[in-house]
C-alpha cells in the first residue's frame, strides 16, 4: 500500500470515529472507492534477501499464517494488540513489518476519540450531579406540594433513559472500536502477506463489514436518539414543572421571609412593650414611694401642726394665767392708788424695774448657772480634800500607833502619847495631791478654779487631826504575841462626802436653788417668746428627709483644702477663683479656705485685728469675689477661724503684750490668768495652752459675745457657709457649741490633733483611747461639729505597708473615729501642717492613691489636699474615685462590712452599691459567699479595685 492509500485509510478511520452514525456507511463507501488497488505488501523476511509476495485474505478469509500471527498477538497482550500496533511496537511471532506512515494519523484520531469520550463522561458526571442536586431539592419540596412526585418520576425516567442511551452508545462505540481495532490489527499484521489478486474480495468484504456495522450502529443510534428525544421532551416537561415548583418555592420563601420579618417586628414590639411595662412599673413604684413619702410628710406635718397647736394652747393658757396674774396685780395697784395716787406711780415704776430685772436675769441665767456649778465643784473639791486629809491622818495615826506598840513590846515601856507630834493636814488644793493625773487636773480646771480652804473647812479638818487618847499602861512581856491586831475604825464610820447632807441655810444650797428657779423662768420665757429656726442647705433633693446639720452638712460633703503652707506667697484668692469650675466638675462640694484675717504670721494662724480681712492671701474684695465664684458653682465655703488665741497690738505699762487693738480692743481681762507669758486677768484656762500668743478666756461674756458678732459678720457680709475651727484643744467644747448654735453654719470641723499610742516605736493596734478623746470633744460640743479623724490617718500610715489587719478593730469596724461616730468623722491624709513645706507628719507618697481609695469609699466626710490634687499629678485618679463615691451613693453614715483584713490586703462592702479592695489580695466579689448580687468592676488600678452593683 502506498503512502496516499495509507493516509486515505487513516482519514477514513478518523472520519468514522468522529462523524455521526448516520453518515458512516456513505462516507466509508466514498473513501473505499478512493483507495487504489494494491497488489501486495512488501514484507522483508528475516532469512532471505529477496522479497516474496504473499497473498492473504483481508477482512474475510484468514490464512494460517494470519491466524498464527493473531494468536501470537493475543497471547502476548490480548487486550492491547491494537494499541501495540498503533504505538509501533514489535509483535512477537511475526516478521519485521514496516508500518504504514499514516499510523500516526490513526493514533491521533484514536486519542481525539478518547478525549471526546472522557469529555462526554465528565459532562455526563456533571449532569448526573446536577440531576442529583435537583432530585434532592425536589425531595425537599415534596413536603409542600403533591405534584412534585411527578417531577421526581419524570426526572428519574429522564435520567434512566439518558443512562440507557449513554450505555447503548458506549457499548456500540466500544464494540465498533474493538472490531475496528482488531480488524486494523489484523490488516496491519497481515499486510505483509496481502496479494494483489484479493483486492476485489477486500473491497467487498470491507463494504459488507462497514455496511453491517453501519446498519447496526444506525439502528442503535436511532434508538438512542429516540430515547434521548423522549427523555428531552420529558425533561422539558419536568423542567417546566420544576420551574413552576421553583417559582412556587420562591414565592413561598418570600412569604416565609415576610413572616420572619413580621415575627421579628412582633418580637421587637414585645421587647419594647416589656421595657415600657418595666418603666411603667418603675414609675408606679416611684409613685407609690412618693405617695408614701407624701403620706409620711403629711403625717409629720399634721403632728407638727398638732404640736404647734398644743404649744399655742399652752402659750395661750400661760398668757392667760399671766394676764390673770397681771390683772390681779393691776387690781391691787388700782386699790392701792385709791389710797395714795403717788404710790401708784412708784409701784408701777417698781414693777417695771422688776420686769427689766427679770429680763436681765434671764439673759444672765447661763452665767449664774455656771457660777453655781463652779460653787458645787468647789464644794466637792473641798469635801474630797477633807476626806483625803482625814484618811491620811488616820493612816499616819495607825502607823504611829503600830510603831509605838512595837517599841513598847521591845523595851517593855509604857506608851505616853501626850508628847507625840501632831502632823498637820496639807493646806494645799487637790491639784497638788494628784501629781501625774492630767485628766483629773484638766477636769478640775474645766469646772472651776481652785480656791483657798475656808476656815470652817480647816476647823473640820482639825477634828480628824486630834492626837491619840492616852493609853492605859500595859505590861508587855515576852509571852504577849508580837502581832497585836490594830483596832482601826471601819470604813462605814469614816465620814463620806457622798453620804453627807447639806446643812440648812447653806449659802451654796441657797444660791443653787435661786439659780434653778431663774433657769426655769428663763426657759419658760424662751419657749413662749422665741421660735428657733435653722436654715439648712439641702444639696441632694432625694435625701431631703435626711436632716442637714452643722456637724454633718448634707451627709454627702466632699471637702477640698484649698491651700498649703506657702499659698500666701501668691495672689491666692484670685487663683482659687479660677479653679472653681474645675473643682465643681470633679464633684467637690465644699472648699476650706485659709484664715482670712490680718495676722502677724503670713499663713494667718496668728490673728491680730479680726475685722481686718486684708491678709497675705489678698484683699477683702478679692476674698469676696472668690467666695462668690465658689457659690456660682454650688460649692460651700468654710472659713478657717482661730478662736483659741490672738496677738496683741499694744504693751501694758510693764512691757507685756496683752493689749488688743482694732474694733475688739480687749485688755488683760480677756486673757486666761494662768497663761505663763502674758499676765492675763481672766479665769483659768479650760484647755491646752498655745504658748506663742495670748490665750483667750472664753468664759468671759463679752469675749463670747464679740466672737459671735464677728462670726455672724463673716457669714452675712462675706458669705462664709461654715467653719474650720483651729486648735479646739485650747478651750472647752461647750463654747464651740454656743458659737455654732449662734452662727448656724452649714458645716463645721474642729481640729483636735492629739498624739497616738505607740509601743516599741510602732503605732499600737488599739487606738481606742485616742479616738475616745476626739469623741469626747465632739460630745462636749453637743455634736454640733465634726472633727478631723486623726486616728484613721495615723493607722493608715502603717496599715498600707503590708499591715492591712490594722484596718479592722476587735468589733469588726473601722479602727478610727469613723468606726464609732462616722457622721462626725472628717477623714484626711495630709494638710498644711502634716505635709506641704512643714512636713510634720507626711503621708507616704507611694501610698497616696491607696489612701484616697480608702477614705473616698468609706463613710465620714473625706478631705482632699490641694497639693495632691494639683501638684502631684493625681487629679484624674482622685476625680474618678469621687465620681464612683457619688454614683454609688456613699455618704457619711454608710454601713461598712469588712470581708478581709490581713497582711495581703483589705476588702469591704460600703453601703449597698460599692465593694472595694486595696493591696494585692487575691479576692473579688465572686469569691465571697455572703455577698449577694451581681457586681461590675468599674476601677482597676492594681493596688486598688472597685466594683459597682449592676
Positions marked active-site: 726, 751
Alpha-carbon distance values, 871 to 3, 782, 853 (Å): 110, 38, 18
314's grid cell: 399652752
- H or E element at residue 74: helix 64-76
Strands lying side by side in the sheet with 914-919:
896-901, 905-910, 914-919, 944-949, 935-940
**Interacting residues of 555 by C-beta distance below 8 A, sequence separation 6+:** 543, 546, 548, 823, 891, 892, 893
Residue 544 C-alpha cell reads as 431631703
417: CB partners within 8 A, 6+ apart: 404, 467, 468, 469, 470, 471
CA distances from residue 310 to 321, 514, 601, 837 in whole angstroms, order as listed: 16, 30, 56, 60
CA–CA–CA angle 794, 798, 800 (5° rounding): 110
Query: Burial of 107 by CB count in 10 Å (0-12 exposed, 13-18 middle, 19+ buried)?
Result: middle
Q: Using CA atoms in the order 517, 520, 524, 525, what is the torsion angle rounded to 10 degrees? A: 50
Distance of alpha carbon 630 from alpha carbon 636, whole angstroms: 7
Phi, psi of 37 (to 5 degrees): -70, 130
Whole-number Å distance between alpha carbons of 755 and 113: 113
User: In Å, what is the CA distance from 87 to each residue of 77, 102, 103, 186?
Assistant: 13, 12, 8, 15
Query: CB–CB of 939/883 below 8 Å?
Result: no
DSSP state of 433: T
- Look at strands 786-788 and 758-759 and give their pairing: unpaired
CB 905 within 8 A of CB 923: yes
Which residues fall within 8 angstroms of residue 329, CB to CB, at 6 or more apart? 351
Give the whole-angstrom CA distance, residue 398 versus residue 394.
6
Three-state SS annotation for 136-162: HHHHHHCCCCCCHHHHHHHHHHHHHHH
DSSP H or E stretch at residue 380 = helix 365-411
d(CA 215, CA 943): 100
722: exposed, middle or buried (Cβ count in 10 Å: 0-12, 13-18, 19+)? buried
Closest alpha carbon to 40 in 209, 208, 190, 205: 190
β-strand pairing of 914-919 with 905-910: antiparallel
Looking only at Cα atoms, what is the longest distance across the chain?
Answer: 203
Residue 551: strand, helix, or coil: coil
Is residue 765 exposed (0-12), middle (13-18) or buried (19+ Cβ within 10 Å)? middle
Q: Write the DSSP string, 306-346.
A: HHHHHHHHHHHHHHHHHHHHHHHHHHHHHHHHHH-HHHHHH
Query: CA-to-CA distance for 39 and 54, rounded, in angstroms?
Result: 10
Other CB atoms within a 10 A radius of the CB of residue 760 amount to 5
Residues 839 and 834: their CA atoms lie apart, in Å, by 5
* Whole-Å CA distances, 114 to 83, 109, 121, 433, 924: 13, 9, 10, 135, 77
Amino acid at each position: 500500500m502506498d503512502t496516499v492509500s495509507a493516509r486515505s485509510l487513516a482519514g477514513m478511520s478518523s472520519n468514522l470515529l468522529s462523524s455521526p452514525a448516520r453518515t458512516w456507511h456513505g462516507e466509508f463507501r466514498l473513501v473505499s472507492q478512493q483507495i487504489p488497488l494494491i497488489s501486495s505488501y512488501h514484507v522483508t523476511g528475516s532469512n532471505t534477501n529477496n522479497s516474496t509476495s504473499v497473498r492473504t485474505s483481508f477482512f474475510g478469509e484468514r490464512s494460517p499464517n494470519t491466524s498464527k500471527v493473531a494468536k501470537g498477538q493475543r497471547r502476548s497482550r490480548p487486550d492491547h494488540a491494537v494499541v501495540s500496533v498503533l504505538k509501533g511496537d514489535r509483535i512477537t511471532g511475526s516478521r519485521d513489518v514496516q508500518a504504514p506512515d499514516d499510523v500516526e494519523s490513526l493514533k491521533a484520531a484514536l486519542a481525539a476519540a478518547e478525549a471526546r469520550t472522557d469529555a462526554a463522561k465528565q459532562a455526563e458526571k456533571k449532569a448526573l450531579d446536577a440531576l442529583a442536586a435537583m432530585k434532592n431539592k425536589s425531595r425537599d419540596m415534596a413536603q409542600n406540594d403533591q405534584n412534585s412526585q411527578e417531577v421526581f418520576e419524570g426526572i428519574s425516567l429522564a435520567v434512566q433513559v439518558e443512562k440507557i442511551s449513554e450505555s447503548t452508545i458506549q457499548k456500540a462505540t466500544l464494540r465498533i472500536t474493538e472490531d475496528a481495532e482488531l480488524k486494523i490489527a489484523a490488516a496491519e499484521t497481515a499486510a505483509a502477506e496481502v496479494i494483489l489478486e484479493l483486492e476485489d474480495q477486500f473491497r467487498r468484504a470491507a463494504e459488507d463489514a462497514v455496511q453491517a456495522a453501519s446498519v447496526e450502529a444506525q439502528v442503535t443510534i436511532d434508538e438512542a436518539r429516540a430515547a434521548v428525544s423522549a427523555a428531552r421532551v420529558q425533561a422539558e416537561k419536568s423542567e417546566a414543572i420544576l420551574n413552576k415548583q421553583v417559582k412556587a418555592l420562591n414565592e413561598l420563601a418570600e412569604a416565609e421571609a415576610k413572616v420572619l420579618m413580621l415575627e421579628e417586628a412582633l418580637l421587637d414590639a414585645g421587647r419594647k412593650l416589656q421595657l415600657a411595662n418595666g418603666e411603667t412599673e418603675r414609675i408606679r413604684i416611684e409613685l407609690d414611694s412618693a405617695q408614701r413619702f407624701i403620706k409620711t410628710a403629711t403625717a409629720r406635718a399634721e403632728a407638727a401642726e398638732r404640736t404647734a397647736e398644743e404649744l399655742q394652747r399652752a402659750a395661750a393658757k400661760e398668757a392667760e394665767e399671766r394676764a390673770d396674774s397681771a390683772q390681779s396685780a393691776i387690781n391691787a395697784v388700782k386699790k392701792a392708788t385709791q389710797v395714795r395716787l403717788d404710790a401708784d406711780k412708784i409701784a408701777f415704776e417698781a414693777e417695771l424695774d422688776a420686769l427689766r430685772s427679770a429680763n436681765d436675769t434671764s439673759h444672765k441665767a447661763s452665767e449664774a448657772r455656771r457660777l453655781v456649778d463652779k460653787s458645787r465643784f468647789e464644794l466637792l473639791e473641798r469635801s474630797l480634800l477633807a476626806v483625803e486629809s482625814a484618811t491620811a491622818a488616820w493612816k499616819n495615826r495607825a502607823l504611829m500607833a503600830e510603831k509605838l506598840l512595837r517599841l513598847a513590846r521591845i523595851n517593855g515601856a509604857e506608851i505616853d502619847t501626850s508628847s507625840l507630834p501632831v502632823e498637820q493636814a496639807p493646806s494645799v488644793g487637790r491639784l497638788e495631791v494628784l501629781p501625774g493625773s492630767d485628766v483629773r487636773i484638766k477636769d478640775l480646771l474645766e469646772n472651776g478654779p481652785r480656791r483657798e480652804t475656808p476656815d470652817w473647812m480647816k476647823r473640820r479638818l482639825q477634828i480628824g487631826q486630834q492626837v491619840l487618847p492616852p493609853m492605859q499602861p500595859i505590861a508587855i512581856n515576852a509571852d504577849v504575841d508580837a502581832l497585836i491586831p490594830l483596832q482601826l475604825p471601819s470604813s462605814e464610820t469614816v465620814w463620806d462626802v457622798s453620804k453627807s447632807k447639806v446643812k440648812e441655810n447653806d449659802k451654796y444650797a441657797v444660791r443653787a436653788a435661786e439659780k434653778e428657779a431663774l433657769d426655769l423662768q428663763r426657759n419658760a420665757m424662751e419657749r413662749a417668746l422665741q421660735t428657733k429656726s435653722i436654715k439648712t442647705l439641702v444639696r441632694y433633693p432625694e435625701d431631703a428627709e435626711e436632716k442637714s446639720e452643722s456637724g454633718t452638712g448634707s451627709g454627702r460633703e466632699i471637702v477640698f483644702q484649698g491651700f498649703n503652707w506657702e499659698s500666701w506667697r501668691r495672689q491666692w484668692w484670685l487663683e482659687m477663683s479660677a479653679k472653681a469650675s474645675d473643682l465643681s466638675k470633679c464633684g467637690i462640694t465644699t472648699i476650706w479656705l485659709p484664715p482670712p484675717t490680718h495676722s502677724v504670721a503670713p499663713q494667718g494662724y496668728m490673728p491680730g485685728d479680726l475685722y481686718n480681712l486684708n491678709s497675705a492671701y489678698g484683699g477683702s474684695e478679692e476674698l469676696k469675689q472668690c467666695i462668690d465664684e465658689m457659690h456660682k458653682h454650688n460649692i460651700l465655703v468654710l472659713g478657717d477661724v482661730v478662736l483659741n488665741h490672738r496677738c496683741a497690738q499694744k504693751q501694758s505699762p510693764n512691757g507685756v503684750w496683752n493689749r488688743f487693738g482694732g474694733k475688739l480692743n480687749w485688755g488683760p481681762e480677756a486673757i486666761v490668768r494662768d497663761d505663763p507669758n502674758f499676765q492675763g486677768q481672766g479665769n483659768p484656762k479650760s484647755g491646752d495652752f498655745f504658748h506663742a500668743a495670748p490665750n483667750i478666756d472664753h468664759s468671759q461674756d463679752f469675749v463670747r459675745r464679740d466672737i459671735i458678732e464677728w462670726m455672724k459678720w463673716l457669714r452675712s457680709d462675706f458669705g462664709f457657709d461654715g467653719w474650720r475651727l483651729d486648735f479646739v484643744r485650747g478651750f472647752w467644747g461647750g463654747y464651740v457649741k454656743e458659737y455654732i448654735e449662734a452662727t448656724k453654719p452649714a458645716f463645721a470641723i474642729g481640729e483636735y490633733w492629739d498624739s497616738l499610742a505607740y509601743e516599741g516605736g510602732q503605732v499600737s493596734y488599739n487606738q481606742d483611747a485616742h479616738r475616745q478623746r476626739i469623741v469626747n470633744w465632739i460630745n462636749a460640743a453637743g455634736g454640733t461639729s465634726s472633727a478631723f479623724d486623726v486616728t484613721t490617718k495615723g493607722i493608715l500610715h502603717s496599715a498600707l505597708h503590708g499591715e492591712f489587719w490594722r484596718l479592722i478593730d476587735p468589733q469588726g469596724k473601722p479602727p478610727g473615729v469613723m468606726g464609732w461616730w462616722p457622721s462626725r468623722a472628717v477623714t484626711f491624709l495630709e494638710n498644711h501642717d502634716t505635709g506641704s513645706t512643714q512636713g510634720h507628719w507626711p503621708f507616704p507618697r507611694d501610698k497616696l492613691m491607696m489612701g484616697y481609695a480608702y477614705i473616698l469609699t468609706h463613710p465620714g466626710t473625706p478631705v482632699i489636699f490641694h497639693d495632691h490634687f494639683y501638684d502631684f499629678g493625681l487629679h484624674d485618679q482622685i476625680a474618678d474615685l469621687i465620681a464612683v463615691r457619688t454614683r454609688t451613693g456613699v455618704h457619711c453614715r454608710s454601713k461598712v462590712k469588712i470581708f478581709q483584713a490581713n497582711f495581703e490586703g483589705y476588702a469591704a462592702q460600703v453601703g449597698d452599691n460599692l465593694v472595694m479592695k486595696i493591696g494585692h489580695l487575691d479576692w473579688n466579689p465572686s469569691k465571697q459567699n455572703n455577698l449577694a448580687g451581681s457586681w461590675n468592676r468599674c476601677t482597676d488600678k492594681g493596688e486598688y479595685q472597685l466594683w459597682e452593683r449592676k
